[in-house]
Structure 1
């Protein structure tokens, strides 16, 4: 089987799955999601992604009708059913199925769990990204991994049309994050990344990057940085579950980075090691 879908207990090929029209996702995007990758049928950073998923649901008052352990077992069982050892694993929960109404449905309506698996692996960590900058016009709850991603979709499409890999959001002069990644910079031997406030997603791989810095005694500065800081940085680093730790070589057509290859290499090697360790064994299953 090349891909697999799941909806509230039903399994099937993704293209054959059917979703009720009254699932609140259809009208309101009323739900949260998370995603990661697998290798050797092992799930990368599973505990951290599941923890963030439950945090996001709690922040939107979505009552999840399953435990973290039940979800992790279900995800692993589904990963085992798909032939490809390298997979993109996605899951989301919505507030439930009810007649369209802006107000929440009755609390006894169960939430709906979706899972999707398709073949896919992480990107080549040593490639160089081309980026563009885009004004960040999203709402002020970017720390919640909601399904309301239209601004991110538009920004990513602008990047594609410009022949680039990712779009960097900024609010005025402050750099926040990318359309579907976090962004950090290295300057004068210090890694700088935006603080964990309501303007950025608390990226799992971003957290790993900070751990790698501490392990290697690389100073970290979690404070806002500007577009000028971004353009003048020694290195510009994009992180996500699929990209891990990829450096940028160009932003808005201007060459950037390439001035701290030793530090960059330390972080990239650490990211690869972390991925390989997570996906070579998993003591939970």
Structure 2
């Protein structure tokens, strides 16, 4: 298949799949999601992404549609059905299907959506242009919910300005980007916002922290300001498809470019991790 869609056991192409109009995601965005990339039909860091979607669901009191092991087997099987070995794998769990009412439906029966289509991770040698925007999202950014209108508006601002991403900030504190985490390198230290309720704990962010520790790079998980970001040696954007790319411009002003060797250590280690974990094992 060129791509694949799954809904509660039904499988079709993305173009052919239909969803009940009463799925609560249509009314309220009442659900959670996660995503990762595949190489050689192997989803990267799948268990970590499954753990995160289960945590997000639990925080919203959404029941799990199946056991974690079952979800892993299902996702791997669906990925194998798509012709292209490099894919974006996306899945979401919604609270269920019921007539519109704000309170939870009496029947506890969540819906599982899965989509996968050809897509590759970004070139680690790419340079990014960023813009900034006040973070007006609610106070549960640590939950990976479907409620993403502020993120959509931020991403659209970047598109209109010819930028790659929008950095969000609450007052002077930098939080994260529209659909990425943002960190900085300063004086040899990798600094990134704490995983409080104002940011999503990115899987890639966590991997980069591990790589830093393994390579003797000090880590500081404290919030930083807009001024500190603009004066950083490197501004680093990370997401499932972005393995620590540097920004060269923010709001039209040049930034970073003062610690390329240190950033390359992180990037190369991450790429090695990705290639190793997505290479089929002999036997």
Please tell me the TM-score bracket, short chain as reference. Answer: over 0.9
Inter-partner Cα distance in structure 1 for 2:18 and 2:65: 21
* CA shift for structure 1 position 145: 0.1
1:197 is matched with: 196
1:25 is matched with: 25
Inter-partner Cα distance in structure 2 for 1:189 and 1:278: 28
Contact 1:5 1:11 in 2 (8 A): yes
Corresponding residue SS for 1:276: helix
2:206 is matched with: 207
Q: How does 1:76-115 map onto structure 2 within 5 Å?
A: 76-106=76-106, 108-115=107-114
Corresponding residue SS for 2:242: coil
Deviation readout 1:207-261 (Å, 9 max, x if unpaired) = 0010011001101110010000000000000001101111110000000000011
Deviation readout 1:32-64 (Å, 9 max, x if unpaired) = 000000011011110110000100000000011
Corresponding residue SS for 2:273: helix
Contact 2:129 2:164 in 1 (8 A): yes
Corresponding residue SS for 2:19: coil
Q: How does 1:230-245 map onto structure 2 within 5 Å?
A: 230-245=229-244
**Does 2:280 match 1:281?**
yes
* CA shift for structure 1 position 262: 1.2
Flag structure 2 segments of 5+ consecutive residues without an equivalent.
none
TM-score (norm 1): 0.98
Corresponding residue SS for 1:117: strand
Inter-partner Cα distance in structure 1 for 2:281 and 2:5: 23
Contact 2:65 2:112 in 1 (8 A): no
1:159 is matched with: 158
Inter-partner Cα distance in structure 2 for 1:214 and 1:265: 15
TM-score (norm 2): 0.98
Flag structure 1 segments of 5+ consecutive residues without an equivalent.
none
* CA shift for structure 1 position 281: 3.2
User: For this pair of structures, how many residues does the alignment match?
Assistant: 283
* CA shift for structure 1 position 65: 2.5
1:135 is matched with: 134
**Does 2:247 match 1:222?**
no
Inter-partner Cα distance in structure 1 for 2:16 and 2:134: 38
Inter-partner Cα distance in structure 2 for 1:236 and 1:281: 34
1:252 is matched with: 251
Query: Which 4+ stretches in 1 moved above 3 angstroms?
Result: none
